[in-house]
Each structure stands twice: as structure tokens, then as C-alpha cells.
Chain A
Amino acid sequence: MINVQNLTKTFGNLTVLNDVSLEIGAGKIVAVLGPNGSGKTTLIKCLMGMVRPDKGGMYLKGEQINDQSSYRTYIDYLPQISRHPENLTPRELVRMLGDIRQQPAREEVFVDLFELEPYLDKRLKNLSGGTRQKVSIMLSLMFHNDLLIMDEPTNGLDPTAIIRLKDYLLEKRRENKSIIFTTHIIPLVEEMAEEIIFLLEGNIYFQGSVDELKKQQSEPNLERAIAHALTTKKASI
């Protein structure tokens, strides 16, 4: 579904993505992992066209997406930090995004999931951080596309909301949708991800299943496997 070839991005002297090539198949839940500054968010932002890569090609369903905008119609994207105009209400934002995308929004799924009904007509500046994150998830996923890209989706959510979001995503997985997310929460990865892309210093250190990573690092659990991978990498430098 997504194909990335030789993607490179530098910010000044810092190479954030270094000749990254990868392929992500359709109908999978893929976790993009890596320590802070490893290039996870930059990779996702390149895919969404927010960061312009220095070189490399990106393809969605075989079509090149570099410098394009219309392909985003087929992606539901949740950014790491999402802030919307403070003086608008969630209901107005639903209408605005529906207007912009010219796609029918089905926000009621998330209104029920996160119990957002009482907040729909309140200005965003009057909502708590957690409620804002729920509103952001609603605004990002309400178009029910086949590809979901989420940058740290559980940020700021309470445990109940996290469980509901996980259940929702697993249900989408059963509907054969593709889900790509970044996170630092390892249990979430173990529970949900079928495939891991492990980035280290702008390179793909590992791509495969959770079990394969554990096996490669000879560790019984994912947390230790990741810690071992990081230590080995540091030692090799």
C-alpha cells in the first residue's frame, strides 16, 4: 500500500532520515518505533506532505505522492499535537473539515465512543486537554478511510479512552483497514501491532513482527528487546 524509496531528509547538519526505503502492505497494523529524535514523526510528516524530503520517492497504491495533495483524501491522519481554532466548537470543526474534504463525515461513532455529546457546542478553549484529544481523534478519523496514520494517538487520554480507542482500532483492523501509528507505549505495540518498523538515527534498524524482533535480540519481551537493540547500537558506534 505504501512504498518509500531512498527517503532522505536533513535539517541543517542533522540527517533525520537517511536513505530510508520501506514497504507497508495493506490491511495491517504497523507500529513505527524508535527513541526520541529517531525520525518517526519526520517519516510520517513526509508521507503526509508536511515535510519536504530532500530526495526519495513515496508511493501510495503505486501512485507517486511527492508534492501532491489529493491523495490525502484517502488518509485519516492524527498528528502528535493537534490544536484547532480555540473559538470554534467541535460541531463547527466537523462541518469545516467535511466542507474542506467534500467527504461525508460520520462523527457520531466517536461522539458515542468518547461520550462527546455534552461538549459538541462548547468552544474548544473551554475543553480539558483530554477532551480536546478525543475531539482531535474524532476529527481525524471521522472520514473512515482505509488508511489511518496516527502519531502517538494515546497522548493525553485516560485509561478508559485508551481501551476504547484500542477496541475501535482492532475492529477497523478486522474490516481490513491499514493502521500505522507511532508510540512509546510498548504494551500497546505488543497488543496491537502485527509489524514493527524500528527507526534508529534516521535508519531502519528493524522491520518485521514483534516475535521476530524478540528472537533477533534473544529477549523474552518486547521492552527488553528494544532496550537490547538500543544498547547494541550504541556499543557499535
Chain B
Amino acid sequence: MNKILKYSFIDLIRSNWVISYTAFYFVATFGLLVANGDISKAIISLLHVITILIPLISTVFGVIYFYNSRDYIEMLLAQPIRRSTIFLGQFLGLVLSLCFSFVVGILIPFLVYGVSVSGYLLHFLYVLVAGILMTIIFSALAYLIALLNDNRLRGFGLAILTWLLFAILYDGIFVLAMIKFEEYPLDKVSLIASLFNPIDLSRIFIMLKFDTAALFGYTGALFHQFFGSNLGVVLAGFALLVWCFVPVLIILAKSNQKDF
């Protein structure tokens, strides 16, 4: 698996897409730091990048990468290695290159601005971890959708729809449901519902660490109320890890049955 991961990573890291992605983070993060003039505010601003942009880019990249490497996958399938090795190696190569872009792109500007001595280092690390988890989750969902759909247009459409659902529609549906059932106690339902949206979870994961009540949002406030900051962070983090593993396990199971 390591060999496939290594060469997939080298291939991707040389691609114009990944180079542009890194450059984008680099410029955007410097922009945020200069505009806010304050590290903690810049970290909060990064939250939107992590909850909206990383899922979108990981989704698009995941789908395109799978479809573009289909013939390459066939070549690998002709080698004396197991399918799980091929797919895990390829997927991890993809995730690693996207995480590399993200981490390098935001780490250098923050280090230049002195995040390590600012007292916000831990907060910054939470943002980094959340970004990495978002990359894994949405790349995995996109890769899985592409694996299940031979029709590229349909696969691409479904992947974008999945991103749209979690980034925008889920909250809208949630709010509508709460208005409709406002007479009922919805706290626990809301808590459970937030577990099914990784974007919500990542927002809660970062906000609880910041302990800024005004920024919690409804589900964040509920997490805080039910579990307190520390347990809330642990639970949200654990739920995000489950979100990472489940799609990858499905990828491995489905790739084993698929005809190429």
C-alpha cells in the first residue's frame, strides 16, 4: 500500500491543481491575517474556509481524481496485489496531497505572524485538525460516490449534491423542522441530528474550544450545555473520526465487488 500511496502522492503533488490549491491557501491566509490584524480573529475567519471550502474542494477533487485514474486503477489491478491495497493506497495518496496543500498553505503564514508565541497555538491546531478531518471525510464521500457511479456526470452531480446537502440544505431543513415542531422538546433530537452532519460537527469541534458562546450556534450551545466544553470537543471529535472511517470501509467493501 505504501508504494501505491507514495507514487499517487508524487503524481498529485506535481499537478497544477494541488499547486494552485496550496497557493490559494497561502494567499487567503495571509489576506485574513492582514485584514484582521489579529491571530484569534483570523482563526475564526478560517472556520468558514474549513466548513465550506475544504469540503467543496475535497469533493470536486475526489471525484475528478477517481474518474481520471480509472484506467490507471485497471493497470494496478493487473498487478499481484489485493484490491484493498490498491484503493486504500490511492485514496490515502489523494488525502495526503490535499492535506499537504492545506497544512502548508495555512501553516507558513500563521508561523510568520507568530502563532507559536501568541497563546492561540492550541486553537490553531484545532483548526488544522478540523481541516484535515474535513478533507478526509469529503474526499472519502466523493471517492465513494465516483466508485459507485460509472456515469461521470451523474457521479459529479451526486457528489456536489452531497456537499450542498451538508453545507447548506441540512441546516435549512433542520431550521424548518424546528419551526414546525416548536412545541416539542427538540434538544436531544437536535443533538443527534448534528452528529449526522460532519460540517456541523467540525464547527462545534472548533467553537467549543474557543468557548465563545456567541459563536456556538444552536447545536454548539446544546453540546456545551449537555457535555461542557471538554467532553463536547471529545464527543464531536469522536463523531468526526467515525465519519472518516465509515466511508473508507464502504470504499474497501464496494471496490472488492466492482467490475473494472
The answer to whether A101 and B11 touch (CB under 8 A), given A84-B72, A85-B72, is no
Q: Tell me the B222-260 residues at the A interface (CB within 8 Å).
A: 257, 259-260
Most B-side CB within 10 Å, residue of A11, A69, A101? A69
Q: Let me know if B82 and A87 touch, CB within 8 A.
A: no
Stretch at the interface among A42-50, A113-121, A201-209: A42-50
Give the docked Cα–Cα distance between A78 and B38 (Å).
58
Q: Does A161 contact B (CB under 8 A)?
A: no
Q: Does B108 contact A (CB under 8 A)?
A: no
* Minimal beta-carbon separation of A136 from chain B (angstroms): 8
Q: Let me know if A71 and B80 touch, CB within 8 A.
A: yes
Chain B: residues with Cβ within 8 Å of the partner, total of 25
Chain A: residues with Cβ within 8 Å of the partner, total of 32
Question: With a CB–CB cut-off of 8 A, which chain A residues contact B4?
Answer: 100
Give the docked Cα–Cα distance between A82 and B3 (Å).
20
Q: Let me know if A81 and B14 touch, CB within 8 A.
A: no
Q: Let me know if B72 and A83 touch, CB within 8 A.
A: yes
Question: With a CB–CB cut-off of 8 A, which chain B residues contact A51?
Answer: 259-260
Question: With a CB–CB cut-off of 8 A, which chain A residues contact B12?
Answer: 87
The answer to whether A45 and B260 touch (CB under 8 A), given A79-B75, A85-B8, is yes
Q: Let me know if B72 and A49 touch, CB within 8 A.
A: no
* Minimal beta-carbon separation of A104 from chain B (angstroms): 14
* Minimal beta-carbon separation of A84 from chain B (angstroms): 6
* Minimal beta-carbon separation of B126 from chain A (angstroms): 33
Q: Let me know if A92 and B10 touch, CB within 8 A.
A: yes
Q: Tell me the B2-51 residues at the A interface (CB within 8 Å).
A: 3-4, 7-8, 10-12, 14-15
Of B11, B78, B257, which one neighbours A48 at CB under 8 angstroms?
A: B78
Question: With a CB–CB cut-off of 8 A, which chain A residues contact B15?
Answer: 86-87
Give the docked Cα–Cα distance between A99 and B6 (Å).
11
Q: Does A73 contact B (CB under 8 A)?
A: yes
Q: Let me know if B78 and A88 touch, CB within 8 A.
A: no
Q: Tell me the A64-101 residues at the B interface (CB within 8 Å).
A: 69-73, 75, 77, 79, 81-88, 92, 96-97, 99-101
Q: Determine the residue in chain B with the shortest Cβ distance to A11.
A: B259
Question: With a CB–CB cut-off of 8 A, which chain A residues contact B260?
Answer: 45, 50-51
Interface residues of A (CB under 8 A from B): 11, 45, 48-52, 69-73, 75, 77, 79, 81-88, 92, 96-97, 99-101, 123, 139-140
Offer 17 A-B interface pairs, CB within 8 angstroms, sorted by A.
Answer: A11-B259, A48-B78, A50-B74, A52-B259, A69-B83, A71-B80, A72-B79, A82-B71, A82-B74, A82-B75, A85-B8, A86-B11, A87-B10, A88-B7, A88-B10, A97-B79, A139-B75
